[in-house]
Chains A and B, each alone.
Chain A
C-alpha cells in the first residue's frame, strides 16, 4: 500500500476533483492519497466523487485556509 500526496492548492472546483481522479487512475486498490486544497468546495466535492466511484474517505481536516482530504482507493 502506498501513500501519496497531491497538491491541489489554488485550484478551484472542479479542478481538484479532476486532478484527484487522474491521480487515482495511477494508484492501486488500497493505496491512500492525501489531497491538499484551498477551495473549501472540495469538502463536498471530493467525498461525493469518492462515493459515486467506490473510494473511501479516510480523513478530512481543515488547517486555517487549507482543506486536506485523505482517501483510500477502492475497487
Chain B
C-alpha cells in the first residue's frame, strides 16, 4: 500500500484557502492547516476592543475553517521575523504599506520550513491567478514558488490547471484532472464550488485580512516611523495604532484618545507604559500620551483631553495627569474649541 501523502495548507480564514484545502482532502491527502500571525492580521482585534462591536461574532476565522474541515491548525507567531518583510520589502508596497508579494513569499517559505521539520510532502495555498493585483498574478506565481524555495512543492489547487504540473501532480499524490482552472477577480466559481461542498457560512472578502492594506492605518504607521526617525516597531505599537483617535499637535508627542468605553478599558492596560490623562471634574475619555512632553506640551494635551470630555463647553476643566510610576497631579485648563484643533493634527 502506498504511503498517504501529507500536505500543509495556508489557512487565512477566507473562502479560497478553505476550498483549496477541501479539494485536496477529497483526494485522500492528509492535510493540516497553518496560519501565520504577523501582528497586522485583522482577525477580531478591533472587535475585541470596541464596545460597539460587541454584537459581532468574535470567532477567529482560521480556527473556524479548520474546525469545519476537521483538520488540525497550527498558528505560528511570526511577529519578529515579519518586521524585515515590512520594513525592507524586496518587491515594494501595494497601494498602502502592504508588501503583499514579499508577504506571500515569506509565508510560503515558512510553510516550506514547517513541512521539512514535520515530514510533510507539499504546500497548498488558495491562490487564484489574477485574483489580487500584486501577489496573485500570472507573472508573480512563479516568483512566489521560486523565491520561497518551495518550488515544485507548492500547489494551488484552485488554479493549478493554468500552471505547469507540480511535483504532487507528477508523482500522482494528487490527480491534476480533479484540480481547477479558476482565474480573474470574479468570485462566482468559488461560490459555486462552495455550494457544491455545502459551505454556506464563510468569511466574506471585504478589504483583505491585513491592516497594512488600510490607508488610515498605514498613515499612522508612517507617522510613527517619521517621528521616531527609524522604521522600528513593537507589538504594542502595532496594537495601539488600531485603537483610538490619534492626534499629533507637535512632532515630539501625540495623544491617543479613547473613542468609547471598550477602547478606554483597553488603553487602561498601557498606563504603566505611557503618561495618561483624564478629566476629573467632568466625565471624559482616557488619553495616552506618546512622546516626551514639556510642561507647555502637557498643558496643551490637557486642553485637547478636555475637548473630548463632557466639559468641552465649560470655562475650566480639571484634568488628571498620571505618570507611568503612578504619581498624579491635577491641572485646570480651558478646553480647546473644535476650530482650535487643526485637521492636520489628526493622524
Interchain CA distance A43-B75 in the complex, whole Å: 17
Which residues of B are found within 8 Å of A52, using beta-carbon distances?
Answer: 63, 66-67, 70-73
Say which size band chain A's interface belongs to.
Answer: 20 to 34
**Contact code string A11-32 (vs B, CB < 8 Å = 1, else 0):** 0111101100100000000000
Which residues of A are found within 8 Å of B44, using beta-carbon distances?
Answer: 12-14, 39, 41, 45
With A12-B48, A13-B45, A14-B41 given, is the CB distance from A48 to B265 under 8 Å?
no
Interchain CA distance A17-B74 in the complex, whole Å: 10
Within 8 A of B (CB), among A25-55: 38-41, 43-45, 48-49, 51-53
Among candidates A9, A14, A39, A65, residue contacting B37 with C-beta atoms closer than 8 Å: A14
Looking at chain B's contact residues, the main secondary structure is: mixed
B72 touches A45 (CB 8 A): no
Q: At the interface, yes or no: A3 with Cβ under 8 Å from chain B? A: no
A44 touches B60 (CB 8 A): yes
Which residues of B are found within 8 Å of A43, using beta-carbon distances?
Answer: 58
Interchain CA distance A53-B75 in the complex, whole Å: 12
Which residues of B are found within 8 Å of A49, using beta-carbon distances?
Answer: 63, 73, 75
B77 touches A48 (CB 8 A): no
Which residues of A are found within 8 Å of B59, using beta-carbon distances?
Answer: 41, 44-45, 48
B60 touches A45 (CB 8 A): yes
B37 touches A15 (CB 8 A): yes
B269 touches A44 (CB 8 A): no
A13 touches B72 (CB 8 A): no
Question: How many A-B Cβ pairs are below 8 Å?
Answer: 73
Among candidates B58, B60, B70, B72, residue contacting A17 with C-beta atoms closer than 8 Å: B60
With A52-B71, A52-B73 given, is the CB distance from A41 to B64 under 8 Å?
no
Interchain CA distance A43-B57 in the complex, whole Å: 11
Residues of chain B at interface, number, CB under 8 A: 29
B63 touches A45 (CB 8 A): yes
Interchain CA distance A47-B265 in the complex, whole Å: 25
Which residues of B are found within 8 Å of A40, using beta-carbon distances?
Answer: 48, 58
Which residues of A are found within 8 Å of B212, using beta-carbon distances?
Answer: none
Q: At the interface, yes or no: B43 with Cβ under 8 Å from chain A? A: yes
**Contact code string B62-97 (vs A, CB < 8 Å = 1, else 0):** 111011001111111100000000000000000000
Q: At the interface, yes or no: A10 with Cβ under 8 Å from chain B? A: yes
Q: At the interface, yes or no: B337 with Cβ under 8 Å from chain A? A: no
Closest Cβ neighbor of B63 among chain A residues? A48
Which residues of B are found within 8 Å of A21, using beta-carbon distances?
Answer: 74-75
Which residues of A are found within 8 Å of B58, using beta-carbon distances?
Answer: 13, 40-41, 43-45
A38 touches B269 (CB 8 A): yes
Within 8 A of A (CB), among B136-153: none
Interchain CA distance A13-B61 in the complex, whole Å: 11
Interchain CA distance A21-B62 in the complex, whole Å: 15
Among candidates A14, A41, A65, residue contacting B75 with C-beta atoms closer than 8 Å: A14
With A41-B44, A48-B60, A52-B63 given, is the CB distance from A18 to B73 under 8 Å?
no
Which residues of B are found within 8 Å of A65, using beta-carbon distances?
Answer: 265
Question: Whole-angstrom distance from the CB of A6 to the nearest CB of chain B?
Answer: 15
B48 touches A13 (CB 8 A): yes
Enumerate chain B interface residues (CB-CB to A < 8 A): 35, 37, 41, 43-45, 47-49, 57-60, 62-64, 66-67, 70-77, 239, 265, 269
